Amino acid sequence: MNFYTQQHKQYCGIDLPARAMYVCILDQSGTKLVHKNLPTTPEAFLRVIAPYREDVVVGVECMFTWYWLADLCSKEGIAFVLGHALSMQAIHGGKAKNDKIDAHKIAVLLRGGMLPQASVYPAELRATRDLLRRRCHLGQKRAELLAHLQHTTSQYHLPEIGKKLADKAKREGVEEHFPDPRVRKTIAVDISLLDHSEQVLGEGELSIPRTAKAP
């Protein structure tokens, strides 16, 4: 695990939910210069960071909302560090946890050279990565649905279906394998979801080679 160890005059930790952000700025001695809640906008961020821009580093936890802030810091020439979420919890976990506390923890880790870094993925490649992640997620859900079909057979102590249900063409009439109409409805839902997920997966896979090409 790589830690951010570069020294600065100020260290800015931000807890970054979707609609508001808590900002904590420490100086080299650990004194709090700023500790406040702000709107999650570029204007609010640039305004609060303005007095310290000569030598400040900004750190946030790698969750779901950091793209815009990373890109803004890059554009404005402000040092930016993305904290590795799981490693941060291991290093500085605690029972007390809220936005105000978390922002201070991030600033403290930055100041102490103990903020574990995650990769700041290039802006031009993020959409392709996110598409691949969704493909992986859908693939996992498809596998769960196929497993559920088999598990339901065992659950009701019925003979094996005897078909390779990963093959869409062999799913026709599978519901009839189950005598109880309520169970047949459950199986019909599984098969409908399987058919739809495979359609979406196929469409996504066709687009991946195009989006994955370097600009």
Q: For the stretch 175-191, what's the b/e string if a residue is b when 16 or more beta carbons lie within 10 angstroms of its beta carbon?
A: bebbeeeebeeebeebb
Across 30-78, the runs of DSSP E, i.e. the strands, are 32-39, 56-61
Q: Report the range of poorest mean pLDDT among 16-20, 34-38, 156-160, 181-185.
A: 16-20
Last residue of a domain, one of 116, 144, 162: 116
Based on the fold, state whether residues 102 and 8 are members of the same structural domain: yes
Based on the fold, state whether residues 131 and 26 are members of the same structural domain: no
Last residue of a domain, one of 53, 86, 116: 116
CATH number, domain with residue 105: 3.30.420.10
What is the per-residue pLDDT for 93? 63
Rounded to whole angstroms, the Cα distance separating 40 from 21 reads 6
pLDDT digits (tens, 9 = 90+) for 129-160: 888 888 899 899 999 999 999 999 999 999 98
Based on the fold, state whether residues 103 and 157 are members of the same structural domain: no
Last residue of a domain, one of 91, 116, 141: 116
| pLDDT of 195 higher than 60 | yes
Q: Which domain does 105 fall in, by range?
A: 3-116
Residue 2, C-beta contacts closer than 8 angstroms, at least 6 positions apart: 116, 117
Based on the fold, state whether residues 10 and 96 are members of the same structural domain: yes
pLDDT digits (tens, 9 = 90+) for 30-76: 999 999 999 999 999 999 999 999 999 999 999 889 999 999 999 99
